[in-house]
Chain A
Amino acid sequence: MASSATVTANQLIIMAELKLFRTWSSPFPLRVVWALDFKGIQYDTIFEDLSNKSSLLLQYNPIYKKVPVLVHNGKPLLESLVILEYIDETWKQTPLLPEDPYERATARFWAKFGDDKVLPSIWNVFIKQGKDQEEAIVTAQENLGFVERQLTGKKFFNGETIGFVDLAFGWLAKLLSLWEEVCGVTLIDHEKFPLLSEWIQNFADAPIIKESWPPRDKLITKYQALLEVYTSKEAPK
């Protein structure tokens, strides 16, 4: 986030009227952080402890009780991809979605595929063991194969610059290698997924992404603990 020393009066008002509820580690609010940072928009951050949710969060998101919540002029916005479209429509600089309707539909499709299929299939690889894990790996790599082909001839899913789909897949760029390390399975190797491997590098290296990413050692500890919870639930085979 920009230093507060040089903000103008206008920016102070905007800052006071834009609040983002997030946790230190969840990748979904990070999409909103990136979108706002890419557009150079100032905002206040409220860090939530999901084991002890604030009354404000529950008031703004009574249905899902989750982060992110973006509050703009007192009005709450929920669901990270919905928030991204709102940000794109409200602040027109550095557009996240393309202008052409067909390209927009394509971008929305891939973001949804990422959330509905890719993420759950990779999470399954992380938490399962034995034969279940082997099957999960097949599904995950099939999904990743579709994603890989989307990068043909492009640096980012959006083309030359980072856009909506890149932000939607941001968790892949940063969390996947971490999960691979914690559970000891390699899903993306340079030979099978050369384009994805390169995209991961390019995305992770972008300054805004780098600056906002939670500390790696803290994340490793968190996911190691999570994995232990899942493995202790597994019935002996």
Chain B
Amino acid sequence: MANEVVLLDFWPSMFGMRVRIALAEKGIKYEYKEEDLKNKSPLLLEMNPINKKIPVLIHNGKPVCESLIIVQYIDEVWNDKSPLLPSEPYQRAQARFWADFVDKKVYGASRKVWSTTGEEEEAGKKEFFEILKTLEVELGDKPYFGGETFGYVDLSFITFYSWFHAYEVLGNINIEAECPKIIAWAKRCLQKESVAKTLPDQKKVYEFVAQMRKRFVSE
């Protein structure tokens, strides 16, 4: 049976972007289906009845859900090139830990930066920078979180970079001033074709987020 790969996704989703980068890294041909999250397709509801969320990877008709689980699946199935996770168990555990840290911490804090105001927003900004600084310490002097090469942790976090401009304008913050190493790392990642071709234009993302903000904040 031919390898049929379909990705249900939403263009500004930093979670969907992770899967797109993984697919690009492995050179996998796939059909991209854009979802309207206000009007979810029957296919999405059938393939992810539990969370009803994107991204969903459909491989030969079978759905895989949750971006990091999808990325690990892609790495295990297409294991002939561009490994995303390290091969040594302790390094794999470290990679899983840090990707999980990004999942648990970055989204929640960043959301407060663009969707709240006043005290809640200030607290969100403080938290956001604390998290980024923790990641800076983990990065250290390495070119990538994965060491010499771009890997799982880089992939899990770089997608948030496409939202940084939105955070900066809406939150009135300067990420490069606070976390220069993170910005340097992000620019390094953007030199990779899979990343550069996947990440949407930051201005386009800003417009999208600014629209969304109106639902939460009256200005």
Contact = CB atoms under 8 A, between A and B. Distances in A.
Contacts of B10: none
B72 interface: yes
B163 to A, nearest CB: 22
Interface residues of A, number: 21
Main secondary structure of the interface of B (DSSP, over half): helix
A77 B88 CA distance: 14
Contacts of A79: 96-97, 100
Contacts of A72: 90
A63 B100 CA distance: 12
A7 B76 CA distance: 37
Interface in B96-120: 96-97, 100-101
Interface in A32-84: 63, 72, 75, 77-79, 82-83
Contacts of A112: 66, 69
Main secondary structure of the interface of A (DSSP, over half): helix
Interface residues on B, range: 20 to 34
A113 interface: yes
B134 A83 contact: no
Residue from B59, B72, B97, B100 with most neighbouring chain A CB atoms (10 Å)? B97
Interface stretch (A102-110, A128-136, A172-180, A214-222): A102-110
A85 B96 contact: yes
A90 B93 CA distance: 11
A112 B68 CA distance: 11
A78 B97 contact: yes
B83 to A, nearest CB: 14
Interface in A181-227: none
A87 to B, nearest CB: 9
Which 8 A-B pairs have CB atoms at the shortest separation, nearest pair first? A101-B76, A89-B89, A86-B93, A105-B73, A82-B96, A108-B69, A105-B64, A101-B77
Interface of A: 63, 72, 75, 77-79, 82-83, 85-86, 89-90, 101-102, 104-105, 108-109, 112-113, 146
Given A86-B90, A90-B89, 6 more contacts: A63-B101, A77-B93, A79-B100, A85-B93, A86-B93, A101-B77
